[in-house]
Amino acid sequence: MTIYSLTLSLMVASVFLFSSKTEQSRVVTIQRPLVITQERKSPAFYAYQQAQKLNERKPAAVYNNAPSTHLSTYSIKPEKIQLQVTEMKLSKREFATLDESGMRIAVFSNPLQNDFMDPAHERVVAEDFVTNEQKADMGSAVSALTPEATVLSPDKKWATIKGKFELIDGVGIVDHYIEIRRIEEGISREVGQIDLMTGSYAIEIESPQGYLVAQVRDRSTGGLVGEDRARLFNLQSKGQYFEGPFIRVGQPPTLAINLSYSGGNGSGGSGKSAISTKSAKAVVPDSASTFSSAVNSVATATLFDNQNTLAQVNDKFSNIGLWSATISRFYDPSRVYKNVTTIRQTADKNETSVFTSKWIEGVVEYVADLQKISYRSKNAPILIGRVLVDGKPVAGAEVMIESHLGLQPIYFDQFMIPSISAKTTSENGYFMFVGLDVGAYKVSAIRRQQALGGQMFLAEADAIAFQNIAAQSTLRSKTLRSFDAFSSELVETEAYASESQADVIETNGGKAQMQSYAETGLSEVIVKPQDARYLSVRYNYNSRQDYLHLPQVQEEWLLQAIRTYKINVMPQSGVIIGFTRDLVYDAYLVSESFSKNDVLYFDSTGHVTTTLTTGGGFILFNVPVGMREVVLQERKTDRIFSQVFNVLDHQISVSHFQKD
């Protein structure tokens, strides 16, 4: 019994020691949901991840490595396109055909090519501009978004441009409205949106040409409060859109004479005369700041051919059109400084150099001694100019007066000493012409057999005619279009411009390209249509423009206006024709003897009347020969649009007066 009991005890112990453990049956509950984390990269996790993506059902999106497109070269970087793994895969060719992709990189063609020569099209643009301004008036509330943004159909939309935006220079939105547009060859094409809260803008465009122009305007008058414009170039794709330039709206462009004593003492600013003649010794200020404080107390500066006097000589005139030009003068009653006459343009930051009267007398006497000649009058006008490239004086430039090619210029060396043997400008860029009569002169500059541009000089008695011939180092291509002013019919023409690299510009299909280095300044192109029905004209424009629209008028149209309104054409006079498009204005010719009976107006179809009509322009008959300035004042905003013309006997001068 004892042995049996012991054996049974050993068997029970072995069962407990060597058998698997058992637990009591119970209900199992999960206190928190099971989460498969990314750290546990099991097959179950990947299956769970794919299921989550399928549940989201989001459309395909382009990730960061989308194709990068640079419009300056129209080249595409062939990078791999990545799509979500849960979506259907597309080839690059299939993907590029999607309208929603925003990546239509087909061969670029401009469907608007013929619209720029259509006055009817320009009228529609002008009407849309006014309508948008009126629609923007939404009471006292100011919307942060630009109203009436253009929405293009997929077949017309080239791309969406997005970029950063900010207000600077104290420009704010108080009872104002703000808008952004694409301007191409002076015509408003599309309107975008500006979001002040995020500091960004967006605009759908039909063509990657021209400028983006953002403006802040007064809600009641439409007056310009702030502006910025940026050229569209080198745009880079960001997938669904292209990144545009940074728009920073500040104070609008101004007009000023920008007086500077950079070279007026004959020594480049040292304060001592470099010419050893008795008459050249003069006490002059040592710095531009001293000059400004000394001159401001007695001297005066005027704009608009003496119609506006600035409170201080270096004050700025702000309510001015972008493409305006004006005759500006500097007077010093103390006679310490020589009077200066110069033609200035809006937004021109180049300086107008002033010179002491004694230094000028010394220079003229010095040159007369070298040339062994005697000038007829000490009060004869003197032309002094400066050749600039990218805003800096340049050496090695040759200048000439186009109507007096035999007259040799006088160049200054680095110490501002005149040299009759020098053939080109020195490092300071200065040149001079002496022994001239009163009148207008066109001076052009070339360097290394390339035309840099030209400038009109207004030579007046007892004054210096000063101009900068400003060029840039990069060659620009400007579009030239020739068309009937009223029917839009293409008119083949030949044109000559001093800034053009070609001697003669010939249009083909009413269009041509002009290659130019000119940066800014008042320029003139002589236009000779091949069709004998049309008049040859002299077209005035600002060299900063990247286009030239040449509206052609028939001789019979002008003669019919003279016969109908019995205009008595006087000798020694010319005609000025101005195209105004979208302005409501009052026009003035700065001349005491000009009669209002010599002013006629016309509409966009060419119908001539004696009362102002919008969408067309005006004709000024019997304009006295010489340099003349025409001033237009917009009635609602008092904004000034001005232009300077070199009027020749029985010749016709033409120009545009426009906002953009």
- Look at residues 449, 470, 491 and tell me which one is the last residue of a structural domain: 470
516-539 average pLDDT score: 96
**Same structural domain, 72 and 170:** no
Determine which of 79-88, 173-182, 328-337 has the lowest per-residue pLDDT on average.
Answer: 79-88
Residue 375 included in any domain:
yes
CB-based burial label for 639 (10 Å; 0-12, 13-18, 19+): buried
108-149: per-residue pLDDT in tens? 333 334 455 444 434 433 344 334 443 333 333 333 444 578
Q: Which domain holds residue 228?
A: 115-249
SS3 state at 361: helix
Residue 274: φ, ψ to 5°:
-100, 0
Q: Find the mean pLDDT for residues 188-217.
A: 95
pLDDT of res. 614: 86
Residue 300 — very low, low, confident or very high, per pLDDT cuts 50/70/90? very high
Please say which residue of 443, 470, 497 terminates a domain.
470
The reply to whether 189 falls in a domain is yes
Among 433, 650, 450, smallest CA distance to 442 is for 433
Are 267 and 233 a contacting pair, CB within 8 Å?
A: no
Q: Give me the pLDDT at residue 581, please.
A: 83
| 364 and 275 part of one domain | yes
Q: What is the helix, strand, coil percentage profile of the chain, to 5? A: 15, 35, 50
Same domain, 320 and 453: yes
Q: Strands 352-353 and 300-303, how do they pair?
A: unpaired
Domain contains 494: no
Considering the domain boundaries, does residue 543 fall inside one? Answer: no
CB burial of 217-243 (b: ≥16 within 10 Å; e: otherwise) equals bebeebbbbbbbbeebeebebbbebbe
Whether the Cβ atoms of residue 291 and residue 261 lie closer than 8 Å to each other = yes
Q: What percent of the chain has pLDDT over 90?
A: 64
pLDDT digits (tens, 9 = 90+) for 631-659: 999 999 999 999 999 999 999 999 999 98
190 is a domain residue: yes
Whether 226 maps to a domain, the answer reads yes
Helix (H) or strand (E) holding 55: helix 43-56
Chain-wide mean pLDDT for the chain? 80
pLDDT at position 266 over 70: no
* 547 and 482 Cβ atoms separated by less than 8 Å: no
Residue 353 and residue 392 share a domain: yes
In the predicted structure, residue 594 carries a pLDDT above the cut 90: no
Q: Do 228 and 291 share a domain, yes or no?
A: no
Does residue 33 lie in a domain region? no
Structure confidence by residue, pLDDT tens digits, 538-590? 999 999 999 999 999 999 999 999 999 999 999 999 999 999 988 999 999 99
Mean pLDDT of all residues in 262-270: 44
DSSP 386: E
User: Which are the contacts of 129, defined by CB distance < 8 A and separation ≥ 6?
Assistant: 188, 582
* pLDDT band with cut points at 50, 70 and 90 for residue 4: low
- The total of structural domains in the chain comes to 4
Indicate whether 54 pLDDT > 80. Answer: no
> Do residue 83 and residue 155 come from a single domain?
no
- 144 within a domain of the structure (yes/no): yes
CATH number at residue 422: 2.60.40.10
Are 210 and 297 within one domain? no
Tell me, letter by letter, the H, E, C secondary structure of 306-324.
Answer: CCEECCCCCCCECCECCCC
Residues 382 and 458 in one domain: yes
- Would strands 382-389 and 392-393 be described as parallel, antiparallel, or unpaired? antiparallel
Q: Which amino acid is at 379?
A: N
Domain boundary among 439, 470, 501: 470
Cα(95)–Cα(231) distance, rounded to whole angstroms?
Answer: 30
Give the residue from 485, 482, 510 showing the smallest Cα distance to 604.
485
pTM: predicted TM-score of the whole model, two decimal places: 0.75
Tens digit of each residue's pLDDT (9 = 90 or more) over 460-490: 999 999 999 999 999 999 999 999 999 999 9
CATH number of residue 641's parent domain: 2.60.40
Q: Give the pLDDT confidence score for residue 12 in this predicted structure.
A: 53
Give the per-residue pLDDT at 461: 95
Mean pLDDT on 323-348: 96
Residues 60, 155, single domain; the answer is no
- Out of 12-21, 202-211, 408-417, which region has the weakest mean confidence (pLDDT)? 12-21
Examine the pLDDT at 30 and tell me if it is beyond 60.
no
Task: Count CB neighbours of 25 within 10 A.
Answer: 6
Q: By the 8 A CB rule, do 367 and 385 touch? A: no
Q: Are residues 440 and 311 in the same domain?
A: yes
Q: Are residues 358 and 464 in the same domain?
A: yes
Residues 282 and 156 in one domain: no
* 83, β-bridge pairs: none
In this predicted structure, the answer to whether residue 302 has a pLDDT above a threshold of 90 is yes
- Residue 332: pLDDT over 50: yes
